[in-house]
Copies of this chain bind each other. A is one copy, B any other.
Amino acid sequence: MSLLVIGTVAFDAIETPFGKTDKIVGGAATYIGLSASYFTDSINLVSVVGADFPADAIDMLHQHKINTDGLEIKQDGKTFFWSGKYHNDMNSRDTIDTQLNVLLDFDPKVPEQHSNPDFLMLGNLMPSLQRKVIEQLPKRPKLIVMDTMNFWMDIAMEELLQTIAMVDVLTINDAEARQLSGEYSLVKAAAKILMMGPKYLIIKKGEHGALLFNNKSVFFAPALPLEDVFDPTGAGDTFAGGFIGYLAKSKDISFDSMKRAIIFGSAMASFCVEKFGTENLLHLEQSAIDARVQEFIDLVQFDISLV
């Protein structure tokens, strides 16, 4: 099953209570692609970088069998740059610098040979660009998953709602679910958001786990309690990459399969936050991923027989 990923490929400079990095390779599509690469090897990327983007970073993507035919390299532009500093609780951060650079006039083009994906992952990006990608596909994918954020709710709500109406699964965090729906209760928020078009909603609660809703059921997966969280950057994208990667691998998009996909996505996110940037996603063994998933099973399983 082929997976098309659209999103940013970027430079990040990150500071956390545990240290700081120089410019390192990041961006939603990078985390999504790396995470998904542990589940499927038919991944095609649509994104844009500048002439300053290093060849060895592109090599790194290729090593993870991520096809970069759709990665536009603007010779006269610079790569999108974000710099942020996390507070002591790791749950909030300040943006120090944002340089949109080549993102400013990004016009995503899906290469014809990749325009028939089975799965489409729309990483966080201007909603009109996400929609443009959907509209370039001659046939609707089996599943479209969309990530977005509060920023677009603030400045482009109408476009956002248009795009949301076109997707199958929406992933947002708890504050965003409340903002999008105007409801404080996440149960009520989910009911409203599912009326906007998506059949499934994933509400990410960071260290407090994630909820999956459809119009009949709800599923909850915790985050793994970790000794240390070094850097939360990319955790949500890594989660999404594991989620859609697992679904693409399993070829099963039932609610039960999505539950499993959320556990695998959560396991991948738990690796991501243990080191800076993408570092911990570069060389994972399948056995380490399985052991991490087993930790989730042990964490939540209990045995009650109601008589």
**Chain B residues near A303 (CB, 8 Å)?**
256, 259-260
The 8 A CB mask of A195-219 against B (1 = contact, 0 = none) is: 0000000000100110100000111
Residues facing B in A229-261 (CB within 8 A) are 229, 256, 259-260
With A208-B208, A227-B187, A228-B185 known as contacts, the answer to whether A220 contacts B302 (CB < 8 A) is: no
In the assembled complex, 15 residue pairs joining A and B whose CB atoms fall closer than 8 Å, in A order, are: A89-B184, A185-B226, A185-B228, A187-B226, A187-B227, A188-B227, A208-B208, A208-B209, A217-B298, A218-B299, A219-B300, A220-B300, A256-B303, A259-B302, A260-B302
A: interface residue count bin:
35 or more
Residues of B within 8 A of A227 (CB): 185, 187-188
Interface hits, A52-85 → B, CB 8 Å: none
A222's partner among B209, B298, B306 (CB-CB below 8 A) is: B209
Q: Are A300 and B297 in contact (CB under 8 A)?
A: no
B300 touches A300 (CB 8 A): yes
Q: Which residues of B contact A226 (CB under 8 A)?
A: 185, 187
Asked if A263 is at the interface (CB within 8 A of a chain B CB), the reply is: yes
The docked-state distance in angstroms from the alpha carbon of A217 to that of B302 is 13
Chain B residue nearest in CB terms to A208: B208
**Interface of chain A, helix or strand or loop or mixed?**
mixed
Nearest B-chain residue to A191, judged by Cβ: B227
User: Which one of B220, B225, B299 lies within 8 Å of A225 (CB-CB)?
Assistant: B220
Q: A217-B298, A222-B222 are in contact. Are A290 and B263 (CB under 8 A)?
A: no
Q: Is A88 interfacial (CB-CB < 8 Å)?
A: yes
Known: A185-B227, A187-B227, A227-B187. A302 touches B222 (CB 8 A): no
Q: Are A302 and B188 in contact (CB under 8 A)?
A: no
The A166-193 residues at the B interface (CB cut-off 8 A) are 184-188
With an 8 A cutoff between CB atoms, is A269 at the interface? no
Most chain B CB within 10 A, of A185, A256, A290, is at: A185
Most buried by B among A221, A226, A227, A302: A302
Interface residue A133 (Cβ < 8 Å from any Cβ of B): no
A128 within 8 Å of B (CB atoms): no
